Amino acid sequence: MTAIVILGAGPAGAAVALGLRELGYPVTLVSEWRRFAALEGVSVRVLDALRGAGLHRALADATLPSQRQVSWNGRQHAQNIEFLLDRPSFDRGLREDLRLAGVELIEGRVLTVQSSAAGHRIDIEGREALVADFLVEARGRRAPALGKGRRGPETLSLLNRWQGAPGTTASAVESLQDGWAWMARRADGQCYWQWTVDVASAKLPGKAMLLDYCRQRRQGSAVARAFFGNEPETDLHLHARSSTAILSSQVCGNHWIRVGDAAMAVDPLSGNGIFQSLSSALQAPTVINTLLRKPERALLAQRFHQQRVEQLFLRFARIGRDFYADEQRWPEQPFWQARRQWPDAQVAHAEADFSSLRIERAPVLVDGFVDEAEVVITADQPLGIWHVQGVELAPLVRRLRSEPAEQVLAGLTVEQGRMVRGWLLAQGYKP
């Protein structure tokens, strides 16, 4: 049986492992567990995606609902409820999900990976080397770079964590002259403040002074003072990490694949990192299955994964760009100037135009494999959409150009008709 090794046990690596187990593959997962406590704000959509990936125990004790306050461009408002995900609890549950699925877990630091046409040799600190026929790289931003790739403005996030007084769960976002901050507190008094800055222009002090500098900046913010109150900060910790948007130059080969942040890592303002990691990871088991069992479709499978990772990266990057552009108080400041124009000037959501729809052959997922089919290329779906509610769209769009809608849609069920009509109207179709 094919030996598959996954490096990294974050949501992306775990989702691939669970997907491969459902397809009947034995899977070994190697990971160092997270060394620092962290809290992440996620939406209901992220929670649904995690459950869809099979990470039920990971979510069992890890989420707290929170009303998020936003202070951006001089305006304050309350956004939707977000859920505060406690990563240590989440990671423990994630490992339990993997064990229950029959995934072999190895805790250890990967020293080297040597790859050849014959397979992969993974050297692990304090253990015997592993040999794999197929390798999944899911170590996030720590994964070795492959070539130059594509990078956004160099960005650093400084996470401050301390113990404050118990109170209500809450979270907030604030734009600052030289960056932006996300803050959260749990009911038990654990407090988090993450400041995201521009590497080139931040002029940060040395490591020994950084904790005090962050405290000064935090206490200089009226929003942060109101959010955290005046209680003393005890057991204060600082963790610095890169949050530069990065797209790997290659994300798939005949015997390897990159998923999650190892394939593409986006700016945290673009959306939640877990959701983006899952976006590339959920398709990976089908791509791997195709590479291993239908090698004649290898180029098609690689094209499918590469194109979708690149398109996701650009979509999230443009969403982040538009958020940055919404802050108009400091357009000349280096932080905002660099980010309001990257990655390009293309609109994130183009206006629908039914007459511009195109029909092309493109890779799609069918019964656990990558195959090829006719898809409809739209402004918001440049890689194409194959079907809605089980109805193939290309034949319908082709017929609608010369036949009345009532005739074309006559054979659909009530539910299919409702969904397809909704999709058509969203594409600018005028009956």
In a domain, 278, yes or no: yes
pLDDT band at 272 (very low <50, low <70, confident <90, very high): low
Q: What is the pLDDT of residue 156?
A: 96
Q: Calculate mean pLDDT across residues 348-370.
A: 92
Residue 108 has pLDDT above 80, yes or no: yes
Q: What is the pLDDT of residue 1?
A: 64
Residue 250 has pLDDT above 70, yes or no: yes
Q: Assess whether 34 and 171 both reside in one domain.
A: no
Q: What is the pLDDT of residues 373-401, one digit of tens each?
A: 999 999 889 999 999 999 999 999 999 99
Written in H, E and C, the secondary structure of the chain is CCCEEEECCCHHHHHHHHHHHHCCCCEEEEECCCCCCCEEEECHHHHHHHHHCCCHHHHHCCEEEEEEEEEECCEEEEEEEEEEEEHHHHHHHHHHHHHHCCCEEEECCEEEEEEECCEEEEEECCCCCEEECEEEECCHHHCCCCCCCEECCCEEEEEEEEECCCCCCEEEEEEECCEEEEEEECCCCEEEEEEEEECCCCCCCCHHHHHHHHHHHHHCCHHHHHHHCCCCCEEEEEEEEECCCEECCCCEECCEEECHHHCEECCHHHCCHHHHHHHHHCCHHHHHHHHHHCHHHHHHHHHHHHHHHHHHHHHHHHHHHHHHHHCCCCCCCHHHHHHCCCCCCCCCCCCCCHHHCEEEEEEEEECCEEEEEEEEECCCCCCCECEECCEEHHHHHHHHCCCCHHHHCCCCCHHHHHHHHHHHHHCCCCC
Tokens of 429: 């179709």
66, 184 Cβ separation under 8 angstroms: yes
Residue 11 has pLDDT above 70, yes or no: yes
Domain that holds residue 194: 155-242
Please name which of 297, 278, 275 lies closest in space to residue 287, comparing C-alpha atoms: 297
Q: Assess whether 36 and 166 both reside in one domain.
A: no
**Mean pLDDT of all residues belonging to the chain:** 92
Q: Assess whether 49 and 104 both reside in one domain.
A: yes
Q: Assess whether 142 and 268 both reside in one domain.
A: yes
Q: Which of 242, 267, 284 is the last residue of a domain?
A: 242
Q: Which of 222, 242, 262 is the last residue of a domain?
A: 242
Q: Which of 290, 310, 326 is the last residue of a domain?
A: 326
Tokens of 98: 């993997």
Residue 255 has pLDDT above 70, yes or no: yes
Tokens of 150: 């594509």
Q: What is the pLDDT of residue 59?
A: 87
Q: Using CA atoms, how far apart are residues 16 and 84, in angstroms rounded to an integer?
A: 24
In a domain, 342, yes or no: no
Q: What is the pLDDT of residue 352?
A: 86
Q: Calculate mean pLDDT across residues 4-18.
A: 96
Q: What is the pLDDT of residues 310-333, one digit of tens each?
A: 999 999 999 999 999 999 999 999
Sign of the torsion angle spanned by Cα atoms 389, 394, 396, 400 = positive
Bridge-partner residues for 376, per DSSP?
359, 385
Q: Assess whether 185 and 127 both reside in one domain.
A: no
pLDDT band at 174 (very low <50, low <70, confident <90, very high): very high
Q: Calculate mean pLDDT across residues 214-226.
A: 94
In a domain, 332, yes or no: no
84, 186 Cβ separation under 8 angstroms: yes
Please name which of 182, 232, 230, 207 lies closest in space to residue 71, comparing C-alpha atoms: 182
In a domain, 333, yes or no: no
**CATH number for 223:** 3.30.9.100
Q: What is the pLDDT of residue 271?
A: 64
Q: Calculate mean pLDDT across residues 22-38.
A: 88
Sign of the torsion angle spanned by Cα atoms 347, 348, 353, 355 = positive
Q: Assess whether 275 and 130 both reside in one domain.
A: yes
